[in-house]
Structure 1
Amino acid sequence: MANFISILYTVLSRGLDIYSTLIIVYILMSWFPGAYQSKFGQILATVCEPYLNFFRRFIPPIGMINFSGIVALVVLNLAKSGLFSLFQLIIRIIY
């Protein structure tokens, strides 16, 4: 049972890491003209925009800088930390 929980945690944790990386790449694409219109940019937009739009509703840009991506990454990092704590609690309860 502990092995299954460990594997589940690893898969979910890696998934959050991969999603964070995709968001970073998507944010950095704003530095390159036309990058969002490429096929890769469109795929990333399909994956990242729903999550980023949630934060854009609450965090307005300051001048020309949009901080919603940074806040979104911080929240993902907090979710990963919460996931770790949750799995530690589950293991303590089981054993």
Structure 2
Amino acid sequence: MAATLYFIALLLRLYWFILLARVIIEMVRSFSRQWRPSRRFALVAEPIFVLTDFVIRPLRRVIPPLRLGGVALDVSVLVLFFGISILISILTTVAASAL
């Protein structure tokens, strides 16, 4: 049981890093409007967006962006980061106590 929980926590950590890569790509895209990715970069970025879209899109429907003047901050990604981090912490704690 503990090994299974550790494995799930490992998968969640991997997903957390994939989500971080998506945030970095979106930040580069938003700050540099004239930037166009190369084909190689697009081949790497496409799976990142495919893997994260199915979780982020429903969250964006539920959690509205935070308006700060003329800027809208997407809080749903932050909520997902915190949720995954809390879930990883719970899984590793339960797995450690199961040993």
Given that residues 61 and 67 in structure 1 are in contact (C-alpha distance below 8 angstroms), is that contact kept between their aligned partners in structure 2?
A: yes
Given that residues 22 and 44 in structure 1 are in contact (C-alpha distance below 8 angstroms), is that contact kept between their aligned partners in structure 2?
A: no
Shift in alpha-carbon separation, 1:34–1:57, aligned structure 2, 3 A: farther
Cα distance in structure 1, aligned partners of 2:47 and 2:69: 25
| C-alpha deviation, 1:44, in angstroms | 7.5
Say whether 1:43 aligns with 2:63: no
Provide the residue aligned with 1:73 in structure 2.
Answer: 77
Cα distance in structure 1, aligned partners of 2:62 and 2:32: 21
Provide the residue aligned with 2:15 in structure 1.
Answer: 15
What is the TM-score with the length of structure 1 in the denominator?
0.61
| C-alpha deviation, 1:90, in angstroms | 4.9
Shift in alpha-carbon separation, 1:15–1:84, aligned structure 2, 3 A: same
Cα distance in structure 1, aligned partners of 2:62 and 2:38: 23
| C-alpha deviation, 1:45, in angstroms | 9.2
* More strand, by proportion: 2
Provide the residue aligned with 2:29 in structure 1.
Answer: 29
Given that residues 22 and 48 in structure 2 are in contact (C-alpha distance below 8 angstroms), is that contact kept between their aligned partners in structure 1?
A: no
Runs of 5+ in structure 2 lacking a partner?
A: none
Runs of 5+ in structure 1 lacking a partner?
A: none
